[in-house]
Amino acid sequence: MAGPTIRPRRLRTTPALRRMVAETSLEPRQLVLPLFVREGLSEPVPISSMPGVVQHSRSSLLGAVAEAAELGLGGVMLFGVPEHKDATGSGALDPAGILNLAITDVVGEVGDALTVMSDLCLDEFTDHGHCGVLTPDGRVDNDRTLAIYAEMARAQAHAGVDMVGPSGMMDGQVRVIREALDAAEHTDVSILAYSTKYASAFYGPFREAVDSSLQGDRRTYQQDGANAREGVREALLDVEEGADMVMVKPALAYLDVLRQVRDAVRVPVAAYNISGEYSMVEAAAARGWIDREPAILETLTSIRRAGADVVLTYWAAEAARLLRR
Ligand code: PBG
Protein backbone atom coordinates (compact mmCIF):
# COMPACT_ATOMS: atom_id res chain seq x y z
CA MET A 1 0.00 0.00 0.00
CA ALA A 2 1.54 3.30 -1.12
CA GLY A 3 1.63 6.04 1.49
CA PRO A 4 1.00 9.71 0.77
CA THR A 5 3.52 11.53 -1.42
CA ILE A 6 2.83 14.89 0.11
CA ARG A 7 3.74 14.87 3.77
CA PRO A 8 3.44 18.24 5.59
CA ARG A 9 4.75 16.48 8.70
CA ARG A 10 8.25 16.45 7.16
CA LEU A 11 8.70 20.14 7.99
CA ARG A 12 7.81 19.42 11.61
CA THR A 13 10.48 16.77 12.14
CA THR A 14 13.04 18.66 14.25
CA PRO A 15 13.05 21.80 16.40
CA ALA A 16 15.55 23.42 14.01
CA LEU A 17 13.34 22.77 11.00
CA ARG A 18 10.23 24.02 12.76
CA ARG A 19 12.12 27.16 13.81
CA MET A 20 13.34 27.75 10.26
CA VAL A 21 9.89 27.61 8.69
CA ALA A 22 7.98 29.46 11.43
CA GLU A 23 5.77 32.08 9.80
CA THR A 24 5.32 34.23 12.89
CA SER A 25 7.99 35.60 15.19
CA LEU A 26 7.73 36.79 18.74
CA GLU A 27 10.47 39.17 19.86
CA PRO A 28 10.93 41.30 22.98
CA ARG A 29 10.99 44.51 20.92
CA GLN A 30 7.39 43.80 19.86
CA LEU A 31 6.16 43.68 23.46
CA VAL A 32 4.96 46.57 25.62
CA LEU A 33 4.61 46.18 29.39
CA PRO A 34 1.66 47.97 31.03
CA LEU A 35 2.57 49.24 34.52
CA PHE A 36 0.46 50.68 37.33
CA VAL A 37 1.79 53.34 39.69
CA ARG A 38 -0.23 54.40 42.71
CA GLU A 39 0.11 57.64 44.58
CA GLY A 40 1.21 57.51 48.21
CA LEU A 41 2.67 53.99 48.25
CA SER A 42 5.98 53.21 49.90
CA GLU A 43 5.89 49.54 48.86
CA PRO A 44 4.33 47.84 45.82
CA VAL A 45 0.88 46.31 46.46
CA PRO A 46 -0.15 43.03 44.77
CA ILE A 47 -3.30 43.06 42.61
CA SER A 48 -5.18 39.98 43.82
CA SER A 49 -7.10 39.37 40.58
CA MET A 50 -3.86 39.60 38.56
CA PRO A 51 -1.38 37.27 40.26
CA GLY A 52 2.16 38.52 39.63
CA VAL A 53 1.11 42.09 38.78
CA VAL A 54 1.41 44.94 41.29
CA GLN A 55 0.53 48.55 41.82
CA HIS A 56 3.97 50.13 41.95
CA SER A 57 5.24 52.84 44.21
CA ARG A 58 7.12 55.61 42.43
CA SER A 59 10.41 54.01 43.40
CA SER A 60 9.53 50.37 42.65
CA LEU A 61 8.34 51.53 39.21
CA LEU A 62 11.89 52.53 38.37
CA GLY A 63 13.17 49.01 38.99
CA ALA A 64 10.48 47.60 36.70
CA VAL A 65 11.27 49.94 33.83
CA ALA A 66 15.01 49.40 34.18
CA GLU A 67 14.37 45.66 33.87
CA ALA A 68 12.09 46.23 30.86
CA ALA A 69 14.88 48.16 29.16
CA GLU A 70 17.45 45.51 30.00
CA LEU A 71 15.19 42.83 28.48
CA GLY A 72 14.90 44.80 25.24
CA LEU A 73 11.15 45.37 25.40
CA GLY A 74 9.60 47.82 22.96
CA GLY A 75 8.14 50.05 25.63
CA VAL A 76 6.06 50.53 28.73
CA MET A 77 2.51 51.83 29.06
CA LEU A 78 1.97 53.76 32.30
CA PHE A 79 -1.29 53.96 34.25
CA GLY A 80 -1.59 56.27 37.26
CA VAL A 81 -3.77 55.63 40.30
CA PRO A 82 -4.36 58.86 42.23
CA GLU A 83 -5.09 58.99 45.94
CA HIS A 84 -8.06 61.29 45.45
CA LYS A 85 -10.57 60.97 42.63
CA ASP A 86 -13.18 63.55 41.70
CA ALA A 87 -15.95 64.11 39.17
CA THR A 88 -13.69 65.69 36.53
CA GLY A 89 -10.55 63.65 37.09
CA SER A 90 -8.50 66.72 37.96
CA GLY A 91 -5.51 64.61 39.06
CA ALA A 92 -4.92 63.87 35.38
CA LEU A 93 -4.13 67.50 34.59
CA ASP A 94 -2.10 68.34 37.68
CA PRO A 95 1.62 68.51 36.76
CA ALA A 96 2.22 67.04 40.23
CA GLY A 97 -0.37 64.29 39.61
CA ILE A 98 0.88 60.73 39.96
CA LEU A 99 0.90 59.83 36.26
CA ASN A 100 2.69 63.00 35.17
CA LEU A 101 5.31 62.59 37.90
CA ALA A 102 5.79 58.93 36.96
CA ILE A 103 6.33 59.82 33.30
CA THR A 104 9.17 62.17 34.23
CA ASP A 105 10.65 59.59 36.63
CA VAL A 106 10.56 56.85 34.01
CA VAL A 107 12.02 58.93 31.20
CA GLY A 108 14.78 59.98 33.61
CA GLU A 109 15.48 56.32 34.39
CA VAL A 110 15.49 54.76 30.92
CA GLY A 111 16.07 57.69 28.55
CA ASP A 112 15.75 56.50 24.96
CA ALA A 113 16.12 52.80 25.75
CA LEU A 114 12.34 52.28 25.83
CA THR A 115 9.35 53.99 24.27
CA VAL A 116 7.56 55.54 27.21
CA MET A 117 3.80 55.60 26.72
CA SER A 118 1.01 56.82 28.97
CA ASP A 119 -2.70 56.10 29.18
CA LEU A 120 -4.62 59.20 28.18
CA CYS A 121 -8.03 58.65 29.74
CA LEU A 122 -9.98 59.84 32.74
CA ASP A 123 -11.33 56.61 34.24
CA GLU A 124 -8.36 56.15 36.59
CA PHE A 125 -8.95 59.70 37.87
CA THR A 126 -12.75 60.05 38.15
CA ASP A 127 -14.75 59.04 41.20
CA HIS A 128 -17.55 57.63 38.99
CA GLY A 129 -15.04 55.58 36.97
CA HIS A 130 -16.08 56.77 33.51
CA CYS A 131 -13.60 57.74 30.81
CA GLY A 132 -15.03 61.25 30.57
CA VAL A 133 -16.95 63.89 32.46
CA LEU A 134 -20.71 63.48 32.94
CA THR A 135 -23.66 65.61 31.93
CA PRO A 136 -26.08 66.60 34.74
CA ASP A 137 -28.25 63.60 33.79
CA GLY A 138 -25.30 61.21 33.99
CA ARG A 139 -24.28 60.65 30.36
CA VAL A 140 -20.65 60.82 29.26
CA ASP A 141 -20.19 64.24 27.66
CA ASN A 142 -18.09 63.70 24.53
CA ASP A 143 -17.11 67.27 23.71
CA ARG A 144 -16.42 68.53 27.20
CA THR A 145 -14.25 65.47 27.68
CA LEU A 146 -12.28 66.32 24.53
CA ALA A 147 -11.21 69.64 26.01
CA ILE A 148 -9.87 67.81 29.07
CA TYR A 149 -8.06 65.23 26.92
CA ALA A 150 -6.33 68.08 25.07
CA GLU A 151 -5.07 69.48 28.33
CA MET A 152 -4.09 66.02 29.57
CA ALA A 153 -2.06 65.46 26.40
CA ARG A 154 -0.18 68.71 26.97
CA ALA A 155 0.53 67.76 30.59
CA GLN A 156 1.87 64.32 29.61
CA ALA A 157 3.98 65.76 26.80
CA HIS A 158 5.35 68.39 29.15
CA ALA A 159 6.27 65.56 31.56
CA GLY A 160 8.33 64.01 28.77
CA VAL A 161 6.25 61.15 27.37
CA ASP A 162 7.16 59.69 23.95
CA MET A 163 3.72 58.43 22.98
CA VAL A 164 0.25 59.04 24.39
CA GLY A 165 -2.42 56.36 24.36
CA PRO A 166 -5.93 57.84 24.23
CA SER A 167 -8.18 55.00 25.40
CA GLY A 168 -11.46 56.75 26.18
CA MET A 169 -13.31 56.15 22.88
CA MET A 170 -14.59 59.73 22.61
CA ASP A 171 -15.36 60.75 19.03
CA GLY A 172 -12.74 63.13 17.65
CA GLN A 173 -10.22 62.52 20.44
CA VAL A 174 -7.24 61.87 18.19
CA ARG A 175 -7.67 65.09 16.22
CA VAL A 176 -8.06 67.22 19.33
CA ILE A 177 -5.01 65.64 20.95
CA ARG A 178 -2.87 66.03 17.82
CA GLU A 179 -3.83 69.69 17.56
CA ALA A 180 -3.12 70.31 21.24
CA LEU A 181 0.30 68.64 21.02
CA ASP A 182 1.25 70.53 17.87
CA ALA A 183 0.09 73.87 19.25
CA ALA A 184 2.35 73.27 22.26
CA GLU A 185 5.26 72.42 19.95
CA HIS A 186 5.22 68.75 20.90
CA THR A 187 5.16 67.66 17.27
CA ASP A 188 7.42 64.68 18.08
CA VAL A 189 5.08 63.15 20.63
CA SER A 190 3.24 60.36 18.86
CA ILE A 191 -0.26 58.95 19.33
CA LEU A 192 -1.11 55.29 19.80
CA ALA A 193 -4.89 55.44 19.38
CA TYR A 194 -6.97 52.82 21.12
CA SER A 195 -9.08 53.06 18.02
CA THR A 196 -10.96 49.79 18.07
CA LYS A 197 -11.97 49.19 21.64
CA TYR A 198 -14.85 47.02 22.71
CA ALA A 199 -17.00 47.10 25.84
CA SER A 200 -15.66 43.91 27.39
CA ALA A 201 -16.20 41.74 30.44
CA PHE A 202 -12.50 40.88 30.26
CA TYR A 203 -11.49 44.30 31.66
CA GLY A 204 -12.67 43.11 35.11
CA PRO A 205 -9.31 42.74 36.87
CA PHE A 206 -8.15 46.14 35.53
CA ARG A 207 -10.78 47.78 37.74
CA GLU A 208 -8.97 46.46 40.79
CA ALA A 209 -5.62 47.48 39.31
CA VAL A 210 -6.70 51.13 39.14
CA ASP A 211 -9.02 51.09 42.20
CA SER A 212 -12.01 51.93 40.02
CA SER A 213 -15.61 51.37 40.99
CA LEU A 214 -17.37 52.02 37.72
CA GLN A 215 -20.95 53.22 37.96
CA GLY A 216 -22.93 51.60 35.16
CA ASP A 217 -21.09 50.42 32.06
CA ARG A 218 -19.22 51.83 29.06
CA ARG A 219 -21.58 50.70 26.32
CA THR A 220 -22.42 54.19 25.08
CA TYR A 221 -18.80 54.82 24.11
CA GLN A 222 -16.95 51.50 23.81
CA GLN A 223 -17.94 49.33 20.87
CA ASP A 224 -20.43 46.51 20.68
CA GLY A 225 -18.67 43.15 20.37
CA ALA A 226 -21.04 42.21 17.55
CA ASN A 227 -19.43 44.75 15.20
CA ALA A 228 -16.28 44.09 13.17
CA ARG A 229 -16.87 46.52 10.28
CA GLU A 230 -17.36 49.32 12.76
CA GLY A 231 -14.03 48.39 14.33
CA VAL A 232 -12.29 48.91 10.99
CA ARG A 233 -14.16 52.20 10.51
CA GLU A 234 -12.93 53.45 13.89
CA ALA A 235 -9.34 52.57 12.96
CA LEU A 236 -9.56 54.33 9.60
CA LEU A 237 -11.03 57.42 11.27
CA ASP A 238 -8.22 57.58 13.79
CA VAL A 239 -5.60 57.33 11.07
CA GLU A 240 -7.34 60.20 9.28
CA GLU A 241 -7.31 62.21 12.50
CA GLY A 242 -3.55 61.74 12.85
CA ALA A 243 -2.96 58.52 14.80
CA ASP A 244 0.60 57.23 14.35
CA MET A 245 -0.45 53.75 15.43
CA VAL A 246 -3.82 52.16 16.09
CA MET A 247 -4.89 49.44 18.48
CA VAL A 248 -7.41 46.64 18.80
CA LYS A 249 -8.54 45.80 22.31
CA PRO A 250 -9.23 43.27 23.78
CA ALA A 251 -7.09 40.91 21.72
CA LEU A 252 -8.24 37.30 22.09
CA ALA A 253 -11.97 37.64 21.59
CA TYR A 254 -11.30 40.02 18.65
CA LEU A 255 -8.53 38.35 16.64
CA ASP A 256 -10.69 38.51 13.51
CA VAL A 257 -11.11 42.25 13.93
CA LEU A 258 -7.36 42.58 14.46
CA ARG A 259 -6.72 40.86 11.13
CA GLN A 260 -9.19 43.13 9.34
CA VAL A 261 -7.69 46.26 10.86
CA ARG A 262 -4.15 45.11 9.96
CA ASP A 263 -5.26 44.68 6.35
CA ALA A 264 -7.07 48.04 6.23
CA VAL A 265 -4.49 50.53 7.50
CA ARG A 266 -0.88 51.40 6.67
CA VAL A 267 0.29 52.31 10.15
CA PRO A 268 1.61 49.90 12.80
CA VAL A 269 -1.16 48.05 14.62
CA ALA A 270 -1.02 47.17 18.31
CA ALA A 271 -3.23 44.78 20.24
CA TYR A 272 -3.83 44.78 24.00
CA ASN A 273 -3.75 41.38 25.68
CA ILE A 274 -5.87 42.67 28.55
CA SER A 275 -6.21 41.96 32.24
CA GLY A 276 -8.95 39.31 32.00
CA GLU A 277 -7.05 37.44 29.30
CA TYR A 278 -4.01 37.41 31.59
CA SER A 279 -5.95 36.33 34.67
CA MET A 280 -7.78 33.47 32.92
CA VAL A 281 -4.49 31.82 32.02
CA GLU A 282 -2.97 32.50 35.44
CA ALA A 283 -6.02 31.10 37.25
CA ALA A 284 -6.17 27.95 35.14
CA ALA A 285 -2.41 27.44 35.45
CA ALA A 286 -2.55 27.88 39.23
CA ARG A 287 -5.03 24.97 39.36
CA GLY A 288 -2.77 22.85 37.21
CA TRP A 289 -5.32 22.82 34.40
CA ILE A 290 -3.02 24.21 31.73
CA ASP A 291 0.73 24.44 31.26
CA ARG A 292 1.47 28.09 31.98
CA GLU A 293 4.58 28.99 29.96
CA PRO A 294 3.55 27.38 26.66
CA ALA A 295 0.08 28.90 27.14
CA ILE A 296 1.64 32.37 27.47
CA LEU A 297 3.75 31.97 24.33
CA GLU A 298 0.86 30.46 22.37
CA THR A 299 -1.39 33.36 23.39
CA LEU A 300 1.13 36.02 22.35
CA THR A 301 1.94 34.21 19.10
CA SER A 302 -1.74 34.05 18.20
CA ILE A 303 -2.05 37.81 18.58
CA ARG A 304 1.03 38.39 16.41
CA ARG A 305 -0.26 35.92 13.81
CA ALA A 306 -3.62 37.70 13.67
CA GLY A 307 -1.77 40.85 12.64
CA ALA A 308 -0.44 42.75 15.64
CA ASP A 309 2.91 44.44 15.07
CA VAL A 310 3.06 45.29 18.76
CA VAL A 311 1.46 43.47 21.72
CA LEU A 312 0.72 45.09 25.05
CA THR A 313 0.88 42.34 27.64
CA TYR A 314 1.37 41.92 31.39
CA TRP A 315 3.64 39.00 30.46
CA ALA A 316 6.03 41.19 28.44
CA ALA A 317 9.02 40.85 30.78
CA GLU A 318 8.45 37.19 31.46
CA ALA A 319 7.92 36.39 27.78
CA ALA A 320 11.17 38.18 26.94
CA ARG A 321 12.96 35.98 29.47
CA LEU A 322 11.31 32.84 28.06
CA LEU A 323 12.34 33.84 24.54
CA ARG A 324 15.97 34.19 25.65
CA ARG A 325 16.08 30.53 26.68
C1 PBG B 1 -9.16 52.90 30.05
C2 PBG B 1 -8.49 51.58 29.95
C3 PBG B 1 -8.99 50.34 30.36
C4 PBG B 1 -7.99 49.41 30.09
C5 PBG B 1 -6.92 50.10 29.55
N6 PBG B 1 -7.25 51.44 29.47
C7 PBG B 1 -10.27 49.99 31.03
C8 PBG B 1 -11.53 50.13 30.30
O9 PBG B 1 -11.60 50.67 29.20
O10 PBG B 1 -12.58 49.74 30.85
C11 PBG B 1 -8.10 47.95 30.35
C12 PBG B 1 -6.81 47.21 30.31
C13 PBG B 1 -6.93 45.82 30.82
O14 PBG B 1 -8.03 45.32 31.13
O15 PBG B 1 -5.87 45.18 30.93
N16 PBG B 1 -8.31 53.84 30.65
Is the pLDDT assigned to residue 130 strictly greater than 90? yes
β-strand pairing of 45-46 with 54-56: antiparallel
Task: Report how far residue 77's alpha carbon sits from residue 166's, in angstroms, rounded to the nearest whole number.
Answer: 11
DSSP character string of 28-90: GGGEEEEEEEETT-SS-EE-TTSTT-EEEPHHHHHHHHHHHHHTT-SEEEEEEE-SS-BTT-G
Tell me: the pLDDT tens digits for 135-148?
999 999 999 999 99
Q: Which residue type is seen at 275?
A: S
Residue in 85, 130, 197, 262 annotated catalytic: 197
Question: What spacing in Å lies between the alpha carbon of 52 and ligand 1's midpoint?
Answer: 18
So what CATH class is 27-324? alpha beta
pLDDT band with cut points at 50, 70 and 90 for residue 185: very high
pTM of the model: 0.97
The model's pLDDT over 43-94, given as tens digits with 9 standing for 90+, comes to 999 999 999 999 999 999 999 999 999 999 999 999 999 999 999 999 999 9
Give the 3-state secondary structure of residue 191: strand
Domain ranges of the chain: 27-324
Tell me whether the omega of the peptide bond preceding residue 4 falls within 30 degrees of 0, making it cis: no
Q: Which residues line ligand 1 (CB under 6 A)?
A: 119, 121, 123, 131, 167, 203, 206, 218, 274-275
pLDDT at 84: 96
The pLDDT score that the predictor gives to residue 313 is 99
The predicted structure's pLDDT at residue 114: 98
For 280, counting Cβ atoms within 10 Å of its Cβ (0-12 exposed, 13-18 middle, 19+ buried), the class is middle
Three-state DSSP class for residue 192? strand
Per cent of the chain over pLDDT 90 is: 98
ipTM of predicted assembly, 2 dp: 0.96
Would you say residue 124 has pLDDT above 90?
Answer: yes
- With a cut of 90, say whether residue 1 has pLDDT above it: no
